[in-house]
Structure 1
Amino acid sequence: MIRNSHHIRRGAAALAAAAVGLGAALAPSAAAAPLPSVPVGALSYTVDVNKPGASPGYIYYTSGVSAAALVPGLGQALSNVPQAAPGNVVMDKSGREVWRYTPPKGQDVSNFRTQTYQGKRVLTWWQGSTVGGHGTGTDHIADEHGHVIETLSAGNGLNSDVHEFRLTPDGRALITAYREVDADLSAIGGPKNGKMYDTVASVVDVASKKVLFQWSAAQHVPLTDTTASTSSPGSAVYDPFHMNSIALDPQGNLVISMRDTSAVYDVDIHTGKIRWQLGGKHSTLALGPGVQFAFQHDAEFDGPDTIRLFNDNSSGQQTLGVSSVQWIHVDPAARRATLVRNQIHPSNLVAPAMGNAQGLPGGNTLVGWGMAPHISEFTPSGALVYDVALPMGTYRAYLEDWAPTK
């Protein structure tokens, strides 16, 4: 008991020290902008709000240093802190852990969720190593007990990246991948003989492992569209695009979010042509009042003509405002985008990385606040009905009506 108490105190001290250091490390460049939220929160999963209007079910998220890895040196500093150990975690809404998967030593996990494969509900996640703000590893599909039944890569020699592994009803997988390429970076003030990460959207048939379609950001988006001012964290390789989500639009084309261009792209899944662009330096849709987002994550359709995205509004180096979830009505024919709703956290959280939003069956929305270590649930009117503080951030969070069994 004494030893456990010592570990808890040591973990608390390490987390507190990290919080102090990060307050300076993540300070925004603009004096008037809010500070990014420190990605170190409660010592354990701590429920702060749980009102009757909250949805029943179980929270899925990943623990670990994935968030800290974006800040050079922090991941190593927290490597021996128990709260920073990587794992796939399922909690009930009272804060009781009901299931956990711990990867082999030296590996990380992320993007843990439930999906449907071959008509059955499954657990999915990414597993591997985190390098320079992206991942090199493999995607996993497991049964309801957590037994792995399929593993998948992005194909054509590419490893799976941490950011996206989305299964479609017809047996395909949407996977992000990164590859280092030689590049002339002089147009954006870099070296003529430089190196950068191209980022790739890969569509793979799960059963056969056949690559059906791949889309390269470097081949379709001008380098000068980047809003990134530095290379990847902990890397000398420039990261001008940083794809972080892939979903399908109502016509079956790809909806691609790229953090480092602050834009969402609708890509023809047959030709690779960009059909329209939302946000960024050259938005093809006119942005109506309030449609302002930057460094966003998890862009997907929430209905036939509305996109829902997590607006980080901060990269850590640059902060434009508080983070939020935005619902944006898109009208490609009229070339117009209109704000439907903008949801912030009552504590004005600012997430300098990661984050997602999930539409729930009853109309509520679950929000994972990324590096701002909170998971929240809101009603359609914006009322906060559930809120939990985490020891560290989680890439994404989901609410499901079932939990794995051992």
Structure 2
Amino acid sequence: MTRPLALLGLLACQRDPDDTGTTPLPDAIALTATAIPGAAANTLTVAWTPPDPGESWVEYGLDDAFDRRTPSLTGPTVQTRVLGLKSNRAYQWRAVTVLADGTRLESPAGDYLVPPPPQGLPELLYGEVGPTSALAGRYLLVQVGGVDQSWAVILDDEGDYVWTVGLPVGIQINHFVPDEDGTSVWIAQMDRYQLQDLGRIYRYDLGGAVLSDTRLPNEHHVAIPKAGTDDVLWIAHVTREQEVEPGVVWNVVSDEIRLAEEGSGEDYEVLYNFLDDGEDWFVPCSHVSATEELLGVPGYHEWTHTNSLVDAPDEGALYIAPRLHDALIQLDRETGEPRWQLGGVHSDFTVAADPRLPADSTSLWSHGHLNEVWADGFVLFDNNLHFAGGSRALEFAMDQDAKTAELVWSYTDPQGGVVPLLGDVRRLPNGHRLVTWTTWGRMTEHDPDGTVIWTAEAPVGLLIGRPTVLDDLYGLVESPRE
């Protein structure tokens, strides 16, 4: 059991006649405010019971500033969570209730020394967030990976950790997203070396407590909540023997999209299977001819390597991106029925020519990663493994009715370097773009002209992946995307 951090008397105060200060009422009712650190050490839960209903909150800050506060609550008993506390810093806090007649009840100040970040999690080299940056005053929810361990973290705009959860050695976080309820987050995991089937997704409250644990058989790359439901979606490996030409049979690993109720992942429904529901067999690129080991079994030919799954409830759609097919596919959100494909051998779209690519190429990018799609466009990190010129961030505009698309923005690494794995692009407020160069441990913010206006870097050997930008931790308000 966690020991209460403080039990503080709550005093009623009112302004003195000349309004120069506060004077405790002689008959003030002594109350207690209890503060308990969360399992995520950057949080503090404070509870108290006012003598009468009123508007209540916690004021807190560094260096006795008390310049921050929690959202207001009402009710006979108050319990609120203090968020956004920087690791390894000392905070002061006090509970406040203002009664209907204006009387302010205020506890004496309490102190809380936030523990340091988890062992092994180093500081990021966080560039100064200037006034033109879309990240000013905002938070980054991001996954950080080391050689054998990974962490789900939230950073403030000064680069300080304000929320951290680490998983055991050998377990990789492959997706980390806020829940639509505004009070919890989802962390999906897999075996870092894919020697065992350890797919799971956890839902944590912001205090760091596990709310649910859902086993996800054969999960890899992405697992997400299905908005507006109690269900979870994920990408899963599937294997079978496939005749690739007369008399030649390969052991093939492909993917399917699965759906299950939170907490009941073993009882899943298959929404879409590439080998059953997709196009007939073809060899999309030379990578398919190579063999690899899956869950300790050698000799598999990977056919799709689906690494992206986006839920778009407003469109009644799911978007998936099989990396080796260089395609974006829209599925019906309920039935899994494919609606169209953009890019790749079987594309349904006409796309304006990209001068960087060969004229006869069916690919619009080369083995990319994608996490954001909207009704008339998407952003994508093009790892660019088969063409010259280096990895790049791309934005496409598309017309789903006319089946046309056009590259409308791009940024290429100036040195022509290649990020072989992962990578991400996100839209930010005011037209900026956030690009994650995962295996380089780097994030860059770009204005519409492509100019780099902010950079963050991890120490050598650390990976950064799939950031989400938040306006506020209270309610996990995601920033507008423009």
1:244, distance to aligned residue in structure 2 (A): 0.8
Residue 348 (structure 2) pairs with residue 284 (structure 1): yes
Which residue number in structure 1 is paired with residue 275 of structure 2?
218
1:242, distance to aligned residue in structure 2 (A): 0.7
Residue 221 (structure 2) pairs with residue 150 (structure 1): no
Which residue number in structure 2 is paired with residue 231 of structure 1?
291
Which residue number in structure 2 is paired with residue 63 of structure 1?
144
Q: Measure, in 1, the Cα distance between the counterparts of 2:210 and 2:446.
A: 33
Which residue number in structure 2 is paired with residue 11 of structure 1?
none
Alignment of 1:76-87 (within 5 A): 78-79=147-148, 85-87=149-151
Which residue number in structure 1 is paired with residue 307 of structure 2?
244
Q: Which has the larger radius of gyration?
A: 2
Q: Measure, in 2, the Cα distance between the counterparts of 1:330 and 1:386.
A: 29
Alignment of 1:24-173 (within 5 A): 44-48=123-127, 50-54=129-133, 55=135, 56-65=137-146, 78-79=147-148, 85-116=149-180, 119-131=181-193, 136-154=198-216, 158-173=217-232
Q: Measure, in 2, the Cα distance between the counterparts of 1:361 and 1:271.
A: 34
Which residue number in structure 2 is paired with residue 297 of structure 1?
369
Q: Measure, in 1, the Cα distance between the counterparts of 2:448 and 2:138.
A: 18
Secondary structure in 2 aligned to 1:223? coil
| 1:94-152 superposed Cα distances (whole Å, 9 cap, x missing partner) | 33233322212332223223232xx3332211123134599741011111122111122
1:171, distance to aligned residue in structure 2 (A): 3.9
Q: Pick closer, same or farther for the CA change 1:63–1:225 going to 2, 3 Å.
A: same
More helix by share: 1
Q: Pick closer, same or farther for the CA change 1:306–1:93 going to 2, 3 Å.
A: same
Q: Measure, in 2, the Cα distance between the counterparts of 1:105 and 1:378.
A: 34
Which residue number in structure 2 is paired with residue 181 of structure 1?
240
Amino-acid identity (%): 20
1:208, distance to aligned residue in structure 2 (A): 6.6
Secondary structure in 2 aligned to 1:357? strand
Secondary structure in 1 aligned to 2:228? coil
Using the size of structure 1 for normalisation, the TM-score is 0.72
Secondary structure in 2 aligned to 1:198? strand
More strand by share: 2
| 1:202-249 superposed Cα distances (whole Å, 9 cap, x missing partner) | 233437766455211112133315323423478531111011111134
Secondary structure in 2 aligned to 1:236? strand
Secondary structure in 2 aligned to 1:203? strand
Which residue number in structure 2 is paired with residue 266 of structure 1?
330
Q: Pick closer, same or farther for the CA change 1:225–1:248 going to 2, 3 Å.
A: farther
Q: Measure, in 2, the Cα distance between the counterparts of 1:166 and 1:350.
A: 32
More divergent stretch after superposition (207-216 vs 195-204): 207-216
Unaligned runs of 5+ in 2: 1-121, 355-362, 475-482
Q: Measure, in 1, the Cα distance between the counterparts of 2:280 and 2:317.
A: 21
Secondary structure in 1 aligned to 2:301? coil
Equivalent of residue 381 in structure 2, options 300, 310, 324: 310
> 2:156 is aligned with what amino acid?
D
Q: Is the 8 A contact 2:370 2:424 kept in 1?
A: yes
Q: Pick closer, same or farther for the CA change 1:367–1:198 going to 2, 3 Å.
A: same
Q: Pick closer, same or farther for the CA change 1:352–1:236 going to 2, 3 Å.
A: same
Q: Is the 8 A contact 2:310 2:318 kept in 1?
A: yes
Q: Is the 8 A contact 1:115 1:167 kept in 2?
A: no
Q: Is the 8 A contact 1:165 1:175 kept in 2?
A: yes
More divergent stretch after superposition (270-279 vs 200-209): 200-209
Q: Measure, in 1, the Cα distance between the counterparts of 2:418 and 2:398.
A: 26
How many residues in Structure 1 have an aligned counterpart in Structure 2?
Answer: 334
> 1:226 is aligned with what amino acid?
P
Q: Measure, in 1, the Cα distance between the counterparts of 2:164 and 2:153.
A: 5
> 2:262 is aligned with what amino acid?
V
Secondary structure in 2 aligned to 1:95? coil
Q: Is the 8 A contact 1:86 1:102 kept in 2?
A: yes
1:293, distance to aligned residue in structure 2 (A): 0.9
Secondary structure in 1 aligned to 2:179? strand
Q: Is the 8 A contact 1:242 1:258 kept in 2?
A: yes
Q: Measure, in 2, the Cα distance between the counterparts of 1:180 and 1:233.
A: 12
> 1:256 is aligned with what amino acid?
I
Q: Is the 8 A contact 1:357 1:366 kept in 2?
A: yes
Secondary structure in 1 aligned to 2:282? helix
1:299, distance to aligned residue in structure 2 (A): 4.7
Secondary structure in 2 aligned to 1:163? strand
Using the size of structure 2 for normalisation, the TM-score is 0.62
